[in-house]
Structure 1
Amino acid sequence: MLNVSDDFNKAMKAENRRFETRIKVGDRIFTKNDINSWVYSGGSISGETFQIGSTFSNSIKIEFCSILENIKELTEVTVEVGIATYDADYNYDNIPPEKVGSARVGYAKLIHYKPTVYEYVSIGTFYVTKCDPDRNENKTTLEASDRFVFLENEYVSELTYPASIRDVALEIANKSGSIINETNFSMISTSKINKPEGYTFRQAIGLIAQFEAGYARFSRINQLEIMQLIDPKFAVSPAEYFQKGLTKNELMYKIGGISCTVSVQSESGNEQVTYLAGSNTGPQIVLENKVMTQSLLETIYQKISNVNFYPFTLNWRGNPALETGDWLTLTDRDGTPFKTPNLSYTLTFKGGLTATSSANTNSSAQTVSAYSPPLNQIIKEINSRVDAAGKNSVYDGTEEPPYPKEGDIWFKKNGPDDEIWIYTKLADGTYDWVMTTSTRLSDEIQEKIDNSVPSDEIVKTINLSQEMDGKEWLKITGAKIWLTDQTRIDDAIIQDAMIGNLSASKLTAGTINASDVNIINLNASNISTGTLTAVDIEGVKIKGSKITSVGEDFSMLQDNGAITWIRNSDGKEIFKFFTTLMNLKEGNVRLEVSDSGSLSIYSKKMNKNFLSFSGVGTNMSGYANLDKLSITGDSNSLSYTPTSFEYQSDG
């Protein structure tokens, strides 16, 4: 069931209802003034049998009161219906008559300033399959179906098999271009199946729905989903029925067994094998599924073995928030409430709204003659278990246990609800089954829930007044309070003392101002990019990297022990100072000078060169500008001045 407001449901049950509709065909929007009617047909697990794996295509038929031109096949159509949750025509005051002199002024109608308010729900997204303009009647009939019209192409899987059912479902959706309900798909089974071949996308997603014991559908917001029956606790009161609107089959439908015939490879070739699960009595479900196995069939049966309901047809006022697959609580002519699923749903809009809900499943018993499941004896044993005291039996199922004795317990499945019955001695001395508890809420409790304080009023109650003096606080204590991603915390209200431990791994965005933070023991291996500016580095070994110092005119590069000076203007290498191996691999320090370059040792104090070496072409020159040069050995020396040259020896 769609999520709507309490005002919406209240307006739906009101005696006077005002509706509006919005229909978008391509880029054009129409309202109820532009149409004569529309009829929506929806289905789930509908048919003569409980059709798990159904891919019912919801459809709509719209009759416009004009000629629509240029409507192309598969044009997108969206339909919404709204109900007036506030109707201005019913919200006005009658002013009592007053006398003016001897004249009487009659009742005056005071029109309220607030306009009518509509709350809309989506009926679905459809695609045009037929458009029939009738120029004689000046009308156009348009028929459209949901997105299953795009799933009729062949499905060719590219997965590696065996593959999980969930992976196959995701591939079907991706290849067919369908948007999925991610939460819904995350709950699909991960059991392995073989490759499904020879199916369309629509048939293949039907196989997935079979394994989930449900049906496939495109939701009202056009998302692909695999659904099972859901109980929204929705009741339709007899006041909402049309005259003689309810037809109930008094023979309850309950699944007897399931069978599926598959082709299995054997030594003699392909053989047809029929897998069976459940009982050979009662209504039978026959599946077609080439990749079915006995184990998977047993799992499917366990999911639906307790489904039971009374087939019915109900013509009533309708509620567009109700969906196919929702359980309904109805009341029969005897005043007895019962639950039954809304398997087929038709909504008709002609300014007002009417509906037909039904579950016309064949509930007559039948027997499959070739049915001989191996688990029959086990099932019979489970259906009658002895309790811990060893005196009474415990039964389950929908059929009344035969030959009970006082104190026996019966776990009875009643639609979506579970009931516990005990065989009890009554006041008149007779014995009968007495229901002691049920998951179905009593009418009294359900009424209290329905009339409880709305959620918005609870919020208003908890939202304490801003005029509080600070002495009153709302304190919530609990070990299982869960704040979801939609919880809102205002800016700048969490203080330092409110944070226990903060993991830096949670910081994924933003800026940390280093002027406000001192970082110690930083692991440099985690610095992978960026620029370090104005940093003093002490006591550090730099390994395996090139160091470049860039100046205005020259750059210095240190690499592998060599220091190279490069001219920035043209990138030319000027000098290179490095070590090399010579002779007996003895070390040699070498200074390389570029072409036509020179080497000088310069005295800044005296503003002249001590030594200067240069080379032009193939000639090399050396110059010295010294007042004295001395060369001293162990026992001799040689000295030079501009006016003398002296050699001394101690020997």
Structure 2
Amino acid sequence: MATVDGVQYNDNEIVDFTIENSLVSSDGFEVGTAIPSKLVVTIRTNQTIPDNARIVPFLSLSLSGMTWEEATYPWKDMRVTWEGALSDWMPLGEFFIDSREKINGVWTFTCYDRLVFADVAYVSSLAYPASMKAVWDEICGRLDYVYDSSVVINPSYQIQAGPAGFTMRQVMGYIAGANSANVIVGKDGTIRFKRFAATDPPAFEMTTSDYIRVKQVNPIKNYSRVVVTYDTEDSLTFEAGVGGENLTLNLENPFMTQTMVNNLRSTLNGFNYIPISMDARGFPQLEHGDIIGFEQNESLSWLDTATAWQDMHIPWNGMVKYKSVILKQTYSFKGGLKMAIEAPSVSEQQSEFKVDGSLTTAVNKLNKTAVKEGKAYYGATITRTAGLTIEREDHASKAVFNSDELSFYANGDRALWFDLPSRKFKFGGDLEAAGGTFSGTLQGVDGVFSGTLEAANGTFTGTLQAANGTFTGTLQGANGTFSGTVSAGRVEGGEIVGATIEGGIITGATIRTSSTGSRGVELRSGYADINIYSGVSGNDLVFAIQDMLNDMRLWFSRTGYIEANNEIRINAPNGVYVNNVQIG
């Protein structure tokens, strides 16, 4: 049976299906993978099945042929009719349609499990350094993934900077690898860890009647050394343990540290399995990554035995037990279920002597020297859509250069850019000259400049001009000299201090040459008043020109004055003299 987008199809409509599960992408054991499982199913239907529809295949086991000896359940717990029945339906996974083809009215759908949705760029919103657990939860939250208790992440493991340039599936695999695990999707659609350790017991024991054929493809594989490449560009690695290449587990993980590598080696030290290829009866409860035990009949007659008695370790019944791991698994159903299991390994000769052909050598050389599209080189990437992009791992800064955009970003906001339509460079922050000379013109047109213009240990010799706007910032010369020109249609403020004021019109309530107003020269508004006070006593009026309600009066000393109003009057307390002759 299968449900397709919520519609149930039975064995009359389902022709066959194949499910491929893989834990490795190479010919050997790996940790830190997250490989989607694949379903290919053939269905007779005239129904329109939507894109990306969800497909769940099911199996039910027939119990009609079960004997009393094979039954392991107590009598009171058996709910099987005398003529036999079917077991409960068991799901074989959750898949989503990727592609389809129709031949003679029969549809063949190629589908993948939930991990395929993780093949999108990961742009984190966390503050770094962040724990691996927090990163894992952020990814699962965005993808609407549910994971079970098998996902155990060391709480002390951290990622130091935002993982720029990676997909969500890659990051999930790296986190799993640091914790000695691989990522899979269980048959119920939940995300799971398949963890490995040297002491793992078999999850399922197989007898000779459970498989059709088993072939050992290499000697038993052991691991005693771990080498992790954390920088592929410069081939920088961490390693732990001892042993040759044949005993070494190699993996790439940019987030691992020496401590993590030491812990991984401690967990896997002594892990071994026998590389096999097996055709077996279908056991739908098995998952890729399960440790399995199986037995082989290796009995010999006395005549055929060439081993000494004390060196012979075969049981009397001749059945020898072995342990392996399901690294690749294929279920196929066409009237019945069968299973193929693979546990590949790299031979000792392949591990020690890697001989590349001429084409492989050329490709490897090209990989080292060529700049690849979308690959980060110290934060720099080249793509067809954005051109050259340079970005920090924590996304604090970014620069974008292409034919349409020349921009610098800070914390996601554009800070400096070239505005192509206006042919102008625009700046959205503070302009600071540290240890140099700014000799250009800084001009705000129809806007407000509210930042800080500062010259540190240098000289600002240009022109700062605000046209039709307001300058509300601070113009400061720090450890230097501001020798430029400040030009504005209107300057407003409480106080102007300087040695010389030239040109223009000065308008105000009072203009004084003394701050106290009791000495020096004072010009007052309201009347045409000019007062000059004594510099000796400080408050004696020495000379004044005053507007006495449209009568002009010149004051001399304290009481002498000349007043003009249709007539000229001369008044002096001690007399009026002309050429030393008193005339009044």
- Normalised to the residue count of structure 1, the TM-score between the two structures is 0.46
* 3-state DSSP of counterpart to 1:133: strand
Would the aligned equivalents of 1:43 and 1:58 in 2 still touch at CA under 8 Å?
yes
AA aligned to 2:41 is I
Q: Deviations for 1:200-219, whole angstroms, at most 9, x for unmatched residues?
A: 01101000111011100111
Give the deviation of 1:345 after TM superposition.
Answer: 1.2
Q: Distance in 1 between matches of 2:219 and 2:234?
A: 38
Counterpart for residue 75 of structure 1: 53
Instruction: Name the CA distance, whole Å, in 1 between partners of 2:10 and 2:135.
Output: 41
Instruction: Read off the aligned partner of 2:276 and give its amino acid letter.
Output: F
Of residues 147, 153, 156, the one that matches 1:190 is 156
1:125 to partner: Cα distance: 0.4
Structure 2 equivalent of residue 308 of structure 1: 272
Structure 1 residue 368: Cα displacement: 9.2
- Structure 1 position 151, deviation (Å): 0.6
**CA 1:252–1:272 in structure 2 vs 1: closer, same or farther (change >3 Å)?**
closer
Q: How does 1:101-250 map to 2 (within 5 A)?
A: 116-135=85-104, 138-181=105-148, 183-195=149-161, 196-229=163-196, 231-242=201-212, 245-249=213-217
Following superposition, the deviation at residue 348 of structure 1 comes to 0.9
Structure 1 residue 271, shift from structure 2 partner: 6.0
Shift of 1:55: 0.8
Amino acid at match of 2:222: K
Q: Deviations over 1:118-168 (max 9, x none)?
A: 232210000001111113xx3111111100111111111222222222122
2:242 alignment counterpart? 279
Aligned match of 2:345: 361
Cα offset, 1:194, TM superposition: 1.5
Q: What code does the residue aligned with 1:273 have?
A: L
Q: Name structure 2 gaps, 5 residues minimum.
A: 69-80, 299-318, 355-584
Pairs within 5 Å for 1:257-268: 257-263=225-231
Contact 1:231–1:326 (CA<8 Å) still a contact in 2?
Answer: no
1:176/1:188 CA distance change after superposition, 3 Å: farther
Residues 58 and 145 of structure 1 are in contact (CA less than 8 Å); yes or no, is this contact kept in structure 2?
yes
Tell me which of 288, 299, 323 is aligned to 1:339: 323
Write the mapping of 1:187-586 to structure 2, written as runs, cut at 5 A.
Answer: 187-195=153-161, 196-229=163-196, 231-242=201-212, 245-249=213-217, 251-263=219-231, 273-281=236-244, 282-334=246-298, 335-364=319-348, 366-367=351-352
Judged with a 3 Å threshold, the aligned counterparts in structure 2 of structure 1 residues 368 and 211 are, in CA distance, closer, same or farther, namely farther
User: Residue type matched to 2:241 in 1?
Assistant: G
Residue 56 of structure 1 aligns to a residue in which SS? coil
TM-score normalized by the length of structure 2: 0.51
How far does the alpha carbon of each residue in 1:52-78 deviate from its partner, in whole angstroms, 9 at most, with x for none? 1111211111112x2444223311011
For residues 257 and 294 of structure 2, the distance between their equivalents in structure 1, rounded to whole angstroms, comes to 38
Give the letter for the 1:239 counterpart.
Answer: S
Distance 1:87 1:117, change over 3 A: farther
Shift of 1:344: 1.3
SS state at 1:291 partner: coil
Instruction: Quickly say closer, same or farther: Cα 1:284–1:68, change in 2 above 3 A.
Output: farther
Q: 1:161 to 1:367 in 2, by over 3 A?
A: farther
CA gap of 1:284–1:168, structure 2 versus 1, over 3 A, is: same
Question: CA contact under 8 A between 2:13 and 2:45: conserved in structure 1?
Answer: no
RMSD: 2.6
The Cα offsets for residues 178-209 of structure 1, whole Å up to 9 and x where unpaired, read as 1221x233554432221322110110100011
Contact 1:189–1:212 (Cα < 8 Å) also in 2: no
Deviations 1:213-268 (Å, cap 9, x if unpaired)?
110011111111222146454111112222xx11013511112433233349xxxx
Q: Among the aligned pairs, what percent are the same residue?
A: 21
Rounded to whole Å, the distance in 1 between the matches of 2:328 and 2:234 is 38
CA–CA distance in 1 between the matches of 2:263 and 2:27? 23
Superposed, which structure 2 residues align to 1:547-626 within 5 Å? none
Query: Conserved in 1, the CA contact under 8 Å of 2:218 and 2:347?
Result: no
Deviation at 1:364? 2.0
Q: For 1:336, what is the secondary structure of its paired residue?
A: strand
1:374-411 Cα offsets, whole Å, 9 max, x none, are: xxxxxxxxxxxxxxxxxxxxxxxxxxxxxxxxxxxxxx
CA shift digits 1:317-353 (9 cap, x unpaired): 1210111111111123413111111121111111111
Once residues 35 and 234 of structure 1 are traced to their aligned partners in structure 2, the CA distance between those partners, rounded to angstroms, is 30
Question: Following TM superposition, by how much is the alpha carbon of 1:310 offset from its aligned partner in structure 2, in angstroms?
Answer: 0.8
Letter in 1 for 2:221: Y
SS at match of 2:91: strand
CA contact (8 A) 2:227 2:249 kept: yes
Task: Output the amino acid matched with 1:128.
Answer: I
Verify the 8 A CA contact 1:217 1:227 in the aligned structure 2: yes
Whether the 8 Å contact between 1:46 and 1:360 is mirrored in structure 2 is no
Asked if 1:30 is matched to 2:9, the reply is yes
C-alpha separation in 2, matches of 1:113 and 1:256:
55
Give the structure 1 partner of residue 365 of structure 2.
none
Measured in 2, the distance between the counterparts of 1:148 and 1:280 equals: 35
* Structure 2 CA distance for partners of 1:125 and 1:299, relative to 1, 3 Å: same
Q: How many residue pairs end up in the alignment?
A: 316
Give the whole-Å Cα distance in 2 for the aligned partners of 1:238 and 1:172: 44
Structure 1 residues without counterparts, runs of 5 or longer: 1-21, 92-111, 265-269, 370-651
